[in-house]
Structure 1
Amino acid sequence: MKQFIKTYLPKTSAIALFASAAYFFLYPRDAHAMHIMEGMLPPKWCIFWFAVSAPFFIYGLYRMHKIVRSTEQNAKVMLALCGAFVFVLSSLKMPSVTGSSSHPTGVGLGTVMFGPGVMAVLGVIVLLFQALLLAHGGLTTLGANCFSMTIVGPFVGFAVYKICRAFKVSRSISLFLCAMLADWSTYVTTSFQLAVVFPDPNTGVGGAVIKFLSIYAVTQIPLAIAEGFLTVIVYNLVISNNLWKETALQ
């Protein structure tokens, strides 16, 4: 089983990545998802979120350099798996209310395996691909989308995971909470990002946050729970077959 996974896991990840990309490229749909669309943010806010995200991206490059140069067995394969996991899950747009849609983020797996820093780099790659080929997100809003999904989400998830493990919570439950809350915190952050740009005329930013959160609340809770379970299954499969050590390169 171990040899089978080591041999075919990279190929399977690549096939899943290509199949997902082909589907969304050949059958495009209007994008009204969690990723902030092109043109939704004023230039000053686009610049602001790029500036805020830049230090995390630079740190992520440093972390990725260490991972690629490390002697840890299967490090590059697992890094590719985490990137494919983010791409596939974050491309699955589920219909929500008011004509919008929601989707998982997939950042929990890479966060636990490599730490939150590297997810900013993987996230930029994924978000660029989705914006250019899937009409999902945008180039000017790349900084904002990166900050919510691949910076806030992973750091929140990693903090939750470490706290749970410090209190002797089981690995599976800790990972489940990490993935679920990383997903949920992404949507909370996006709601704030939109609320400061489009405040409610009567209730201001606070009222706008509630409205934006309510758009996704119906579908995002079960999606976050499902993502948590899926992340646990994939991670435990990797660990149980000795393809990765629990604390390696965090």
Structure 2
Amino acid sequence: MHIAEGYLPPVHAAAWTVVAAPFVVHGARAMVRQVREDPDSKLLLGAAGAFTFVLSALKIPSVTGSSSHPTGTGLGTVLFRPPIMAVLGTIVLLFQALLLAHGGLTTLGANAFSMAIAGPWIGYGVYRLTRRFGLSIAVFLAAMLADLSTYCVTSVQLALAFPDPVSGVVGSIAKFGGIFAITQIPLAVAEGLLTVLVVRLLVRNSPKELLRLGVLRRRDETTTPATPQESRP
């Protein structure tokens, strides 16, 4: 991640584009509806996209010439849910391909499916399952697993395109996954912690917006620490 321009065979690149396209179209409609129903959410939408852009642009060398980086999709997934994150993530990947030479246009569909679609949906599923244990725990697991699952899906994509001559696709998945895991597991943990910090800042400074988005619940608001101004007599 990102899969480089021209790295995938044309048939695979086209197939992943076809698979990703319905999610992106659905996400674009969801974003338009979100902005129409809640115009004040545009600032948080932009912040979530910027968070994804900055984190996913930080390339860290891995082994055998590959690289790892955070994905930054956990924040947008928690705030706006996976459909909107699909279009936000795809826009981020498009700009990175055009401006930073991260990924590429032919591999945009494959990169969007792994980072903007599969990762957010898996992270959101974990978020919903663990929300009962507290917001911070759920956010941490969502961001961490959205990151890790992105690289698991990328390993599958690469393995399907380049199966191992002896062990086939399964062996190739293990090889690609093993290469990514060395740097990606600690990166995913760090991304989870950073996302928790950002959400805590939002809870402190923008609780009304989080209530509107459904991230905060009324009982969460009652346990939110007061700001310095609110604590004064």
- Unaligned residue ranges in structure 2 (runs of 5+): 216-233
Distance 1:163 1:126, change over 3 A: same
- Structure 2: how far apart are the matches of 1:216 and 1:178? 19
- Structure 2 residue matching 1:160: 3-state secondary structure: helix
- Out of 110, 115, 124, which is 1:144 matched to? 110
CA contact 1:113–1:247 (8 Å) conserved in 2: no
- Structure 2: how far apart are the matches of 1:139 and 1:66? 28
- Out of 56, 60, 66, which is 2:23 matched to? 56
* Alignment root-mean-square deviation, CA: 1.3
- Structure 2: how far apart are the matches of 1:178 and 1:87? 18
CA contact 1:94–1:101 (8 Å) conserved in 2: yes
- Out of 24, 27, 43, which is 1:77 matched to? 43
In the other structure, the counterpart of 1:235 is: 199
- Out of 146, 170, 173, which is 1:209 matched to? 173
Q: Does 1:223 align with 2:187?
A: yes
- Out of 120, 145, 156, which is 1:154 matched to? 120
- Structure 2: how far apart are the matches of 1:104 and 1:41? 22
Aligned residues: 214
- Out of 65, 80, 86, which is 2:32 matched to? 65
- Structure 1: how far apart are the matches of 2:38 and 2:133? 30
CA contact 1:239–1:246 (8 Å) conserved in 2: no
Q: Does 1:174 align with 2:138?
A: yes
- CA deviation string 1:150-173 (max 9, x = no partner): 0000000000000112xx211100
TM-score of the pair, normalised by structure 1: 0.83
Q: Does 1:245 align with 2:213?
A: no
- Structure 2 residue matching 1:35: 3-state secondary structure: coil
User: Which residue identity is paired with 1:79?
Assistant: L
- Structure 2: how far apart are the matches of 1:127 and 1:177? 23
Structure 1 residues 178-187 or 130-139, which shifts more? Answer: 130-139
- CA deviation string 1:97-117 (max 9, x = no partner): 112110000000000000000
Where relative contact order (Cα < 8 A, 6+ residues apart) is larger, the structure is 1
Displacement of 1:247 in angstroms is 6.0
In the other structure, the counterpart of 1:27 is: none
Displacement of 1:71 in angstroms is 2.9
TM-score of the pair, normalised by structure 2: 0.89
User: Which residue identity is paired with 1:245?
Assistant: L
- The 4+ residue runs of structure 1 with deviation greater than 3 A are none
In the other structure, the counterpart of 2:71 is: 105
Displacement of 1:242 in angstroms is 2.3
User: Which residue identity is paired with 2:62?
Assistant: S
In the other structure, the counterpart of 1:187 is: 151
CA contact 1:67–1:249 (8 Å) conserved in 2: no
- CA deviation string 1:8-31 (max 9, x = no partner): xxxxxxxxxxxxxxxxxxxxxxxx
- Structure 2: how far apart are the matches of 1:247 and 1:197? 43
- Structure 2: how far apart are the matches of 1:123 and 1:161? 19
Q: Does 1:164 align with 2:130?
A: yes
- Unaligned residue ranges in structure 1 (runs of 5+): 1-33
In the other structure, the counterpart of 2:231 is: none
